[in-house]
Amino acid sequence: MTILVATSGDTGGAVAAGFYQTPGIEVIILYPSGKVSDLQEKQLTTLGKNITALEINGNFDDCQAIVKQAFLDEDLNEQYNLSSANSINIARLIPQSFYYFEAYKQLQDHSLPTVFCVPSGNFGNLTAGLLAKKMSLPIHQFIAATNINKVVPDYLATGAYEPKASSPTISNAMDVGKPSNFARMLDLHEGSTWNRMQKSIAGSYCNDKTTRKIIKDIYQEYHYTMCPHTAVGYHAAQQYREKANIITLATAHPSKFIDVVKKEINTKVDIPKRLASLRDKKKVSVELNNQFNSFKTWMQQGKNK
> What are the pLDDT digits (tens) for 248-267?
999 889 999 999 999 999 99
Judge if 125 and 207 occupy the same domain.
yes
Separation between Cα atoms, residue 8 and residue 86, nearest integer Å: 10
**50 within domain boundaries:** yes
What was the pLDDT predicted at 63? 94
Residue range 211-225: mean pLDDT, rounded: 96
**305 within domain boundaries:** no
Q: How confident is the model at residue 303 (pLDDT cuts 50, 70, 90)?
A: low
Judge if 136 and 280 occupy the same domain.
no
Q: Which residues constitute the domain of residue 293? A: 2-86+272-300
Judge if 245 and 277 occupy the same domain.
no
How do strand 51-57 and strand 286-289 relate by DSSP bridges?
parallel
Judge if 186 and 291 occupy the same domain.
no
Least confident of 84-98, 119-133, 202-216: 84-98
Residue 82 clears pLDDT 60, i.e. is over it: yes
Residue 54 pairs in a beta bridge with 30, 286
Q: 156 in helix, strand or coil?
A: helix
What was the pLDDT predicted at 280? 85
Report the domain count for the chain. 2
Separation between Cα atoms, residue 1 and residue 240, nearest integer Å: 44
Could you tell me the CATH number of the domain that includes residue 230? 3.40.50.1100
What was the pLDDT predicted at 304? 55
Give 248's contacts (C-beta < 8 A, 6+ positions apart).
117, 230, 233, 234, 236, 237
DSSP state of 44: H
Angle formed at CA 189 by CA 187 and CA 191, multiple of 5 degrees: 50
**205 within domain boundaries:** yes
**For 20-68, how does the pLDDT look when each residue is reduced to its tens digit (9 = 90+)?**
999 999 999 999 999 988 888 999 999 999 999 999 999 999 999 999 9
**29 within domain boundaries:** yes
| The model's pTM | 0.88
Judge if 77 and 128 occupy the same domain.
no
Residue range 184-212: mean pLDDT, rounded: 91
Judge if 38 and 114 occupy the same domain.
no
**217 within domain boundaries:** yes
The three-state DSSP-derived secondary structure of 188-214 is HCCCCCHHHHHHHEEEEECCHHHHHHH
How many CA atoms, within 13 angstroms, populate the side-chain half-sphere of residue 126?
Answer: 32
How far does CA 28 lie from the centroid of its chain? 17
Query: What does the buried/exposed string (b/e) look like for 123-156 if buried means 16 or more CB atoms within 10 Å of the residue's CB?
Result: bbbbbbbbbbbeeebebebbbbbbbbbbbbbbbb
How do strand 51-57 and strand 114-119 relate by DSSP bridges?
unpaired
CB atoms within 10 A of CB 290: 18
Judge if 113 and 12 occupy the same domain.
no
Separation between Cα atoms, residue 149 and residue 158, nearest integer Å: 15
Q: 110 in helix, strand or coil?
A: coil
Span between the terminal Cα atoms of the chain, in Å: 20
Residue 173 clears pLDDT 60, i.e. is over it: yes
Residue 99: exposure state from Cβ atoms within 10 A (0-12, 13-18, ≥19): middle
Judge if 203 and 184 occupy the same domain.
yes
What was the pLDDT predicted at 26? 96
Among 141, 138, 135, 143, residue whose Cα is nearest residue 111: 138
Residue 141 pairs in a beta bridge with 115
Judge if 160 and 290 occupy the same domain.
no
What was the pLDDT predicted at 305? 45
How many CA atoms, within 13 angstroms, populate the side-chain half-sphere of residue 85?
Answer: 21
Among 121, 209, 126, residue whose Cα is nearest residue 173: 121
Task: Evaluate whether 30 touches 59 at the Cβ level (below 8 Å).
Answer: no
Judge if 159 and 103 occupy the same domain.
yes
Least confident of 87-96, 136-145, 260-269: 87-96
The overall average pLDDT reported for the chain is: 93
Judge if 260 and 286 occupy the same domain.
no
Q: How confident is the model at residue 8 (pLDDT cuts 50, 70, 90)?
A: confident
Residue 268 clears pLDDT 60, i.e. is over it: yes
Percent residues over pLDDT 90 in the chain: 78
Judge if 138 and 201 occupy the same domain.
yes
What was the pLDDT predicted at 292? 97
